[in-house]
């Protein structure tokens, strides 16, 4: 496998997590990241996959590619607008993060 396919389990001790001061990062592959996010209206947590970029000033920013939603009999994923098309060169990485997301949600349900 190429270097971009290695899954890095992030925690608060990684340089990246410290740099952006986020403790909710679950996995990262290249510029794609699976993380747990809090809905500001409902106060509930959900998983999302974001892609990181640098702007003209070399500042980091990200946007959501897809989110995991709870349904009656499990979870589904929903793309935000057509952003899943933007990551077409990273579909194998995206697939791995989606799989990790479903595995994470399943393990949380098992422990509840």
Show pLDDT as tens, one digit a residue, over the chain (112 residues).
333 334 444 443 444 443 444 568 888 888 899 999 888 888 888 899 998 888 888 888 888 999 998 888 888 888 887 777 777 677 888 888 999 999 988 888 777 6
CA distance 7 to 37: 20
| Distances 5 to 20, 29, 58, 67 between C-alpha atoms, Å | 22, 6, 25, 21
Q: Give, as one character, the DSSP assignment of residue 20.
A: H
According to DSSP H, which parts of the chain are helical?
15-20, 83-86, 91-111
pLDDT value for 88: 67
Tokens of 7: 């899954």
pTM (2 decimals)?
Answer: 0.73
DSSP H helix total and E strand total for the chain: 3, 6
What pLDDT is recorded for position 23? Answer: 66
């Amino acid at each position: 496998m190429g270097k971009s396919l290695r899954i890095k389990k992030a925690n608060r001790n990684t340089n990246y997590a410290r740099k952006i001061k986020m403790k909710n990062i679950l996995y990262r592959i290249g510029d794609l990241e699976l993380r747990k996010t809090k809905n500001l209206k409902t106060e509930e947590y959900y998983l999302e996959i974001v892609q990181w970029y640098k702007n003209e000033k070399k500042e980091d920013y990200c946007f959501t590619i897809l989110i995991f939603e709870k349904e009656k009999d499990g979870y589904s994923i929903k793309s935000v607008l057509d952003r899943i098309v933007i990551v077409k060169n990273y579909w194998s990485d995206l697939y791995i993060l989606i799989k990790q997301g479903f595995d994470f949600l399943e393990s949380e349900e098992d422990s509840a």
